[in-house]
Structure 1
Amino acid sequence: MTTVTAYQGEPGSNSAIAAEALYPGGTRLPCRTFEQAMDAVTQGVADVAVIPVDNSAAGRVADVHHLLPESGLSIVAEYFLPIRFALMAPSGTSPAQLETVRSHVHALGQCRKVLRDGGWRTLVSDDTAGAAREVAELGDARHGALAPPAAAAQYGLDILLDGVEDEHDNTTRFIVLSRQAVHPGVGDGPMVTSLFFTVRNIPSALYKALGGFSSNAVNITKIESYQMGAGLHASRFYIEIDGHAEEPRVALALEELAFFSSEVRNLGVYPAHPHRLVSRGA
């Protein structure tokens, strides 16, 4: 059965590349926003959504973690994609002719050196492949785009400079969202558990809530805070931990977390991607 995969962006984008790597030969459903991609899964139009959550150079992707708790979807997999950017323009263009380069805001931030050296003005597009399409439609040698090399072939552009990302170990982490949670076994290999929680409004609540991870030797690999509305409301936290939620030591840590929290929501237990283990020297 063919998997229908929703993603934010256009054909040729990094999200499209990640979707193809995860579900080769499947049906793609490009969406304008992350929310639309998630809604496609919620409504049954797509089977899964492939969503970027953070980049090694640019940090977390805005909005995604705000959308996750209310989506009702579960994280079932993760994928790390090496990011490569090329400077592209209409056929026959030289870098000296360029005046403006457009791309997604994260891509512009990940290619600052080449932009600075070229002295070009920048314009923000909805996504990298969309920037390539816009440049192809303009057909003007004064306008170029930063996008994955695949986008040049997709939209008939010439690659002027390849490998222009500032950091050549630049990597984006994607998560796969599904209506149905997966239930891997405790002994099925290295696992990651993702959670949202809101601490009780008492002194030292966060310190106490996280104490169980330390005392049970559970590694927290990510923690991020999100303010809920205006005013002095308790913060919501997103965390990722090494291990399966049903492992005894992890279960004990989660029990202590729940005691000092007004809400704990398990977003998914899923296999750790090999890149995660290699990057730690595991």
Structure 2
Amino acid sequence: MSAGADAVRGMAPLSAGRSARVGQAAARPLTRIAMWSGPRTVSTALMRAWENRQDTVVADEPLYAFYLARTGIGHPGREAVIASQPTDWRTALARLAGAPLPQGVAISYAKMMTHHLLPEVDRVALAPFRHAHLIRDPHELLASYARIRTAPTLADLGLAAQAEIFEAFGGPVVESRDLLACPHGVLRALCRALGVPFDRAMLSWPAGPRDSDGVWAPYWYDSVRASTGFARWRPPAGPLPARLEPLAERCMPYFERLRRYRISAEGEPDAAGLRRA
């Protein structure tokens, strides 16, 4: 993992209330969450929400350096990313699954990008995690993503890999539009589905950078660093370019496969219950 991903927030003197919460966290079994998403899905804002809990530490895209090193793709800050994290997926996932957590911390939350999960990664290595999924309508996703990359591919979006992970491990599914429409209700439902208590601290956070941000944050995180909570949902600023319509249609079966199991703000799936592997 990156130096940022395994950094731990400074331990300030505990108030009576925080001492109680730390004690409660210490009494709970450890939960290691892998939250899978593609790009442009409010995944970084969701990571902020989890990091604002006192009982949680986060890891920011721990397979990013591996992905860049293996594919040769040129991303902003590529060499700095590769230098900041293990480039061997075995090392990255072993650390994520087995690293001891700080005192008072019961939850490890990893922001996992589905397109970073290349075929060579042994899926057995994902077994230690409690998996969850964040999805977005491909038409909205591509309309936003097209401002960054003019010719994205299906592999860039990671939807096929996400469907594969879901089939293997199940887990709750959150649609980004639902999350932005009702953060409190969806986060409460997500926590319940993951077997952890809901914490109202997830609803807002201080603006600014975090030690846990990946070294790529200066290129990608301006909006989330300026945020103090989840923004209201709004449609993309522009229409989907016609050249990307065929790609959006290729993405739809994967999206619809997961969307059938998305949780609602009331905590009940829209389909016949959460899928379990």
Larger strand share, 1 or 2: 1
Larger helix share, 1 or 2: 2
Q: Would you say same fold, with TM above 0.5?
A: no
Greater C-alpha radius of gyration: 1
Greater relative contact order structure (CA < 8 Å, 6+ sep)? 2
TM-score normalised by length of structure 1: 0.28
TM-score normalised by length of structure 2: 0.28
